[in-house]
Structures are given as structure tokens and as C-alpha cells.
Structure 1
Amino acid sequence: MTRPWERFFFICTYIAQGSSYMSPAAYAIMHRMHHAYTDTDMDPHSPQFSKNLFGMMWRTRQFYVSIFKGKMKVEERFTKNLPSWPVFDKLASSSLSRIIWAALYTVVVLLFSPTLWFLLLLPVMVAMGAFHGAVINWFAHKYGYVNFKLKNTSQNLLAIDMLMLGESYHNNHHKNPSSVNFGKRWHEIDPVYPVIRLLSWCKIIKLPATAPASRMHMPRVHE
């Protein structure tokens, strides 16, 4: 996409993620590493190296912070064509920004929740982005079904995924990482795919010619 549109979506990402904002560039590097090193010790978020979900979340955070602060040497192949707005990333990732968002969430809960018990949800609200990633990278590497036999533990967590917006078709994604449509079987609905096609039709984004966008009907393959 063009630089103005890229920065527009930076701002949209910040509004949507709030206190759990993650740099698109740093996260893209980490995600590319996940695909290149799946289930090895260089995988930023593999359940193979953590005893529980929170251990994996902490390990992922260490990778992310090291990448974001430039403390980790990153291979050149992971740094190509990244979205970049360093000044905005620094402000959106600051402690002050996260505190302001957390305070805003607290005020909303106090004003609109029917009971103060809802305050117990604040930690999840503050770290929602991390929890979303953890759900996929933990559970979708442990449970579900597979369409493709791969040399990793990725699985499709849900047969119909409206909850995680297609992200839980993780086995499909590891098979075709560049595909804009995570769904492959007839019942695997990726609700983000039509949005991507709409953005492409509106000339807001340009899809690479090599990115497979078509759906496939295939028999289910079991491990």
C-alpha cells in the first residue's frame, strides 16, 4: 500500500490494540521467524519450549522486545518490505501510552459495568493483543485437525472460525503462508478474506500476483 494508507492503518491499529499495541514491523519480523523456525528453539512462540501458556507468552515477549529495541540480530530476509513509522511506534509503545489506555479501560468499566466484578477482566483487556496471539500459537499447535501433513505441529483449531477471524486455520496458514485466504475447505470461512478483496478492489492495497487467493476442496488428512 502507499505510505499515506500505511500510516492510516498504523493509527487504526493503535486505536484497536490500545494498551497492547505492537509494532507492525517488529511483529512482522517475529512472525516471519515463526514460519522459518517453526517448533525450533528460534521460534518466538512455540509451545514446545514452554511449560504453559503464560510461559510461552513471556518467551514471545522477550523475542519481541529484543527485536523492537534492536538488541537481536535479525536476518536480512526477515526485514524486507516492512511497514515503517519509527516515531509513531515509539510513542504508541511507550509506558505513558499504555497507562493512559489502561486508565481509560478502568473508567469505562466503572461507568458501564453492572458489577465491580468486571474489574477482574482488566488484565485481559490491557493485554488483549498478547492473549489473542497466545490462543493461536499455543492451542493451534496442540489441538485441532490437519488438512496438510507438515513438518511442524500446526493444526486448524476451529472448523468454522468467526471468533478468531480465520486465524485458527493455522495448519492451512503454515502450508500457504502468503495466501490471503486462510480457509481451504468448503466450511472454513475466513471472514477477513472478503475485506482484503474489497481493499484490493478499492486500490487501497495491491495483492502480489503469487499470493493464492482461491479456495480449494480437499479431503481431510489425519496425522
Structure 2
Amino acid sequence: MRQWFDTEAGAEGPDRSPERIDWLRVVPFIGLHLACLGVFVVGVSWIALAVAAALYAVRMFAITGFYHRYFSHKAFRTSRGLQFVFAVLGAASVQRGPLWWAAHHRNHHRHSDTARDVHSPVVRGFVWSHMGWFLTNHGFRTDRSVIRDLERFPELRLLDRFDILVPVALAAALYGSGVLLERHAPGLGTNGPQLLVWGFFVSTVVLFHATVTINSLAHRWGSRRFATRDNSRNNWLLALLTFGEGWHNNHHHFPGSARQGFRWWEVDLTYYVLRTMAALGLVWDLKPVPAAMRGVRRMPDGSDGRT
């Protein structure tokens, strides 16, 4: 049970059953979903919905802009301070720490849609690719050999080890805020339990399932502009839900770009925010898509791979 709070607990032990789901360790994950049923008890208010939506947006950007494009692919540069701020916001998403996330994602690109890809829906099926893989003994571990560049930051190592403390703090802050609003602004119609359920549990669960559709759905449904070695797809609906991540075939064609919507009509909210941050001097050196990489690359059979 120490592993609920300390990701390094038991990390040195043998990995005897790498693909066995560790049911004791995933109890909090199951509880996170069950807690959403609290909406039938606490009711709803406009402010609870607004807080849930705002936390979805902020944390989705932390995942897409920083966990993915920055920590995993180094698609731009930023200061050490801002790097840590968005690492904390990413950890608030309950998608584990930045080192764990980046390590698994880098290995995904190395072995995409092969037997060594831990979350390929082509090889392992939808449910496993969507959430089964990271509930296993192997999924909990971090391949530190692929994140040497990130491990040199002690604050990131500490955050990664005790990543659960951030969402716990967020949940406590939401509950406390609701209590204060009920006391000092009763006209808003909210309270501690309501903000906790909507702002934390519901928002987090929706955020999680939207994020992991890129593992499961974006390798099965959509169009293929580029003849990548995997089954990655471009899906406009997933792109809207995940702030641009749904242009997944584009991304696998050229992973190093800060932009995943290669065409003007491919909406990429994460890239727009990064451009704004660059204009403010908060980030810089956003890597573009080389012009030679933008053209349609035909499939081996001569088609464009569209479905």
C-alpha cells in the first residue's frame, strides 16, 4: 500500500508478473470513478460546472503542452521554473508524474503498434490500450534509461516519486473553497462536497478518458495522410477534445514539432496557447514542421490511407 503514495516503493523488486493487474494498487483509480456517482447526492450548480470545465482545460493543456510536447518530445524550450509549474499542473491530472509519462511515451514511439508497444489497440485490443496497460506491474514502472535528460532535475524526480500529493492537495483545496463559498456567498448554491465531486472527481475522470483516447481510438479510427510505420490516425473529434492531440498521424510522422495540426484548418488549441506563451517570452524555440514533411505521403498500395 506504500505504492499508493511512493512510486519507488517496491520498484527494486523483481517484475515476476509484468502484465498482471495489481488490483490493490489500483484501488484509488477505481475509487476515483466510483466517486463520480456523488453527483446524485451533491447536486449541481453553475459554478461547480465552471470549475470542472476550467480544471479540465488547464490540466489538459498541462498534459498536451508539457507532459507530451515538452517533456516527451522537447518540442520547445522554457525556464526551469515554468517547467516545474507545468509539471505540477500535469501531476494534478492524476496521470502520474512527468518522468513516468515521458518514459512510457518515448517507448511508445520507439515501438508503436508492435508487440513491444504496451498500449497498442492493434496488438492488444481497445480496453487494454485504453487503460489496462498502466494498471499492471510493468505499467507502474519507469524506464529511466530513456529519460536521462529529465532525471537531472531533482525537483522533477521528487514530484514524480510522490505525484499523488498534488491531486490530494487539489481535492482538499476544492473542498475548502466550497466550504468558504457556502459560508460567504450562499447565493452561488455550492458547497465543499459539490466542488469536490464536480471539480475534482468528474473533471479528472473525463480528462483521463479523453487523454487516453489517443492511445486507443487514434490508432483505430480516422484518416492517414502519412505512411507511418504504425497505425496512427488523424481524428478531428479527438483533436477538439484533446486540444490538438487527435492529429495523431501527423504527430507520428514528425513527433518533434510543437504543432500537430499541420494544416490551417486542423484546430490545435495547444499550439495556439504555446504561440501566445512564446509571444510573452514564457517559452521559446518552438520547433516547426519542415516544409518538406508536410506533403501527403502515399501508402504502399498507392492509396492515401484514408478510411
Q: Describe the superposition over 1:125-165 as per-residue Cα deviations: whole angstroms up to 9, x where unpaired.
A: 44445313321111111101111112211001227833221
- Aligned pairs (5 A) from 1:169-208: 169-207=247-285
Seq. identity, %: 23
Q: Given the alignment, which residue of 17, 26, 38 partners 2:112?
A: 38
Aligned partner of 1:2 in structure 2 is 79
Which whole-Å CA distance do the structure 2 matches of 1:21 and 1:54 have between them? 16
Structure 2 residue corresponding to 1:23, chosen from 78, 93, 97: 97
Retained in 1: the 8 A contact 2:108–2:118? yes
Report the CA distance between 1:39 and its aligned residue.
0.6
Q: Which residue of 140, 152, 167 maps to 1:65? A: 140
Distance change >3 Å, CA 160–CA 29, structure 1 → 2: closer
Per the TM alignment, residue 213 of structure 1 is displaced from its structure 2 partner at its CA by 7.1
Q: Contact between 1:46 and 1:137, CA under 8 Å: does it hold in 2? A: yes
1:164 paired residue number: 242
Q: Deviations over 1:147-194 (max 9, x none)?
A: 111221100122783322111000000001011111123321211112
Would the aligned equivalents of 1:39 and 1:153 in 2 still touch at CA under 8 Å? Answer: yes
Q: Distance in 1 between the 2:229 and 2:86 partners? A: 34
Residue type matched to 2:283 in 1?
Answer: I
The match for 1:148 among 211, 226, 231 is 226
Q: Distance in 2 between matches of 1:60 and 1:39?
A: 16
CA pair 29-160 structure 1, distance change in 2 beyond 3 A:
closer
Change (3 A) 1:55 1:166: closer
Indicate how the Cα distance of structure 1 residues 217 and 9 shifts in structure 2: closer, same or farther if over 3 A, else same.
same
TM (norm. structure 2) is: 0.55
Once the 2 structures are TM-superposed, how far is the Cα of residue 3 of structure 1 from its aligned partner?
1.6
The verdict on how the C-alpha distance between 1:103 and 1:64 changes in structure 2, with shifts beyond 3 A counting, is: farther
Equivalent residue letter for 2:208: A
Contact 1:185-1:217 within 8 A present in 2 as well:
no
Give the residue type in structure 2 aligned to 1:167.
Answer: E
Residue 222 (structure 1) aligns with: 305
Matching residue of 2:27: none
Secondary structure in 2 aligned to 1:192?
helix
Equivalent positions of 1:69-80 (< 5 A) are: 73-74=143-144, 76=145, 78-80=146-148
Give yes or no for contact 1:145–1:157 (8 Å, CA) kept in 2.
yes
**Long gaps (5+) in structure 2:** 1-77, 179-188, 299-303
Q: Which amino acid aligns with 1:148?
A: F
8 A contact 1:160–1:188 mirrored in 2: no
Letter in 2 for 1:87: L
Aligned residues: 205
Matches within 5 A, 1:126-145: 126-145=204-223
**Residue number in structure 1 paired with 2:149:** 81
Task: State the TM-score, normalized to the length of structure 1.
Answer: 0.72
Structure 1 regions of 5+ residues with no counterpart?
68-72
CA contact (8 A) 1:154 1:171 kept: yes
Higher relative contact order (CA 8 A, sep 6+): 2
Q: Please list the CA deviations of residues 95-124 of structure 1 after superposition, one character each: whole Å capped at 9, or x if unmatched.
A: xx656656777997xx759xx9xx79x875
Q: Is the 8 A contact 1:165 1:191 kept in 2?
A: yes
What amino acid sits opposite 2:83 in the alignment? Answer: E
Question: What per-residue deviation string (whole Å, max 9, x for no partner) do you get for residues 69-104 of structure 1?
Answer: xxxx54x4x21432742223333325xx65665677
Q: Which structure dedicates a bigger proportion of its chain to helix?
A: 2
Instruction: Determine which of 28, 39, 49 is the counterpart of 2:123.
Output: 49
Q: Distance in 2 between matches of 1:159 and 1:132?
A: 11
* CA distance in 2: counterparts of 1:130 and 1:182, whole angstroms: 20
Aligned-residue Cα RMSD (Å) equals: 3.6
